[in-house]
Structure 1
Amino acid sequence: MLSEPSDVQVRPGVEGDLQALTDLYNHYVRETPITFDTGVFTARERRPWLLSHPEDGPYRLKVALDSGSQDVLGYATSSPFRAKPAYATSVEVTVYVAPHAGGRGIGTLLYEALFQALAGEDVHRAYAGIAQPNEASVRLHERFGFRHVGTYREVGRKFGRYWDVAWYEKEL
């Protein structure tokens, strides 16, 4: 059982979450280098992304909700690592937490739920790319047993500067 506080519910993402998930992601697009997307999305544009994360299989979407208001507090996903068939047992994972919900353990709850869901799947490794600097994300991933395997230097350009991405790996 998850160690979630009574005021937070974690469940699979559903189509009704699409607008809130899009709004949350767009915050990170507009305000941070955490994602290398540079233009905001409409919910319609993000719908294929949502549908690519069914309730079963290796590609999941977990959503954290405030139990009272049902506001989205964050989400975590596992997605294909690469498109080629030999990569099928590897996933890339990510977590986004609403700015007002930071420091409440939401990322931890989401990853607990995601990795519990992946436990029965044919998945061998999880990878996470973390734009640097991002100490909170590094700490979260290390808490879950990820280890640093390398850094791509100045691999992305956003906000008029280049950003490094540190890559982390976890055996599943």
Structure 2
Amino acid sequence: MRVRQATVEDAAACAAIYAPYVTDTAITFETVPPTPEQMAERITAANRTHAWLVLEDPADGCRVVGYAYAGPFNARPAYRWTCETSVYLEPGRRRTGGGRALYEALFARLVERGYRIVTAGMTLPNEASEGLHRSLGFELVGIYRRIGWKHGKWHDVARMQRMLVEDAADDPPAEPI
């Protein structure tokens, strides 16, 4: 597997990977799959301030089979060193190392850009996502109970976070890029 920075040319593949999560699961609370054009806008925005990476499978003609990205955690200035992350793989690719490869490359890119903390949210239950995040050093910081309604029922969302850089002092860090 190969991880690289996403471009707008990857938008259709990312939209195709994401669509079944939107239509068939509560893993995301979106209810209408984004179009390739909308996904291209998301890729452009993420790459401008954070990062969006794709996973290619060389055994399958270097086809995009997953992606991970980061974006702002919160718009207020005090949160500017913190990102929210997500990772999506094609069905059948879970627990193959693809999510880990994407996240490790994403974290390295975020550190280069000056970010200190990453967060993630996941609809519960989601054993695969919980396991991936725990294995990468994320810690559970809370659970929102019955916060999202999708597919005819209420869902809980777990919130996790991970330090990218341990602060040595209380001095203000450099501004993120």
Same fold (TM over 0.5): yes
Match of 1:43 in 2: 36
Match of 2:103 among 105, 108, 111: 111
Q: CA deviation at 1:40?
A: 1.7
Corresponding residue SS for 1:82: coil
Compute the displacement of 1:157 (Å): 0.5
Deviation above 3 Å: which 4+ runs of structure 1?
A: none
Q: Following the alignment from structure 1 to structure 2, what is the Cα–Cα distance between the partners of residues 155 and 113?
A: 31
Q: Is 2:130 the counterpart of 1:138? A: yes
- 2-structure distance, mates of 1:18, 1:126: 24
Which of 105, 110, 118 in structure 2 is aligned with 1:126? 118
Residue 151 (structure 1) aligns with: 143
Tell me the matched-pair count.
Answer: 163
1:87-102 matches, within 5 Å, as 87-102=79-94
Please report how far the alpha carbon of residue 100 of structure 1 lies from its aligned counterpart in structure 2 after TM superposition.
Answer: 2.7
Candidates 69, 73, 77, aligned match of 1:81:
73
Per-residue Cα deviation, 1:120-151 (whole angstroms, up to 9, x for no partner): 22212111001000011111111111100000
What is aligned with 2:53?
A: 62
Gap runs ≥5 in structure 2: 165-177
Percent identical residues: 37
SS of structure 2 residue aligned to 1:10: strand
SS in 1 for 2:112: coil
**What TM-score do you get using the length of structure 2 for normalisation?**
0.88
* 2:2 is aligned with 1:9: yes
Structure 1: gaps of 5 or more residues: 1-7
* 2:94/2:128 contact within 8 Å kept: no
Letter in 2 for 1:52: A
2: CA distance, partners of 1:146 / 1:139: 10
Q: CA deviation at 1:90?
A: 0.6
Whether the 8 Å CA contact 2:84–2:120 is kept in 1: the answer is: yes
Deviation at 1:112, TM superposition (A): 1.1
Matched, 1:31 2:24: yes
3-state SS of 1:52 partner: helix
Distance apart, 1:95 and its partner CA: 0.5
Paired amino acid for 1:65: E
Separation of aligned partners in 1, 2:114 and 2:7: 23
1:94-134 deviation per Cα after TM superposition (whole angstroms, max 9, x unaligned): 11011032221100110111111122222121110010000
Which range is displaced more, 44-53 or 89-98?
44-53
Q: What is the TM-score when the length of structure 1 is the normalising length?
A: 0.90
State the Cα RMSD in Å.
1.2
Q: Compute the displacement of 1:61 (Å).
A: 0.6
Matches of 2:28 and 2:71, distance apart in 1: 15
Q: Letter of the aligned partner of 1:71 in structure 2?
A: R
For 2:51, the aligned partner's letter is: R
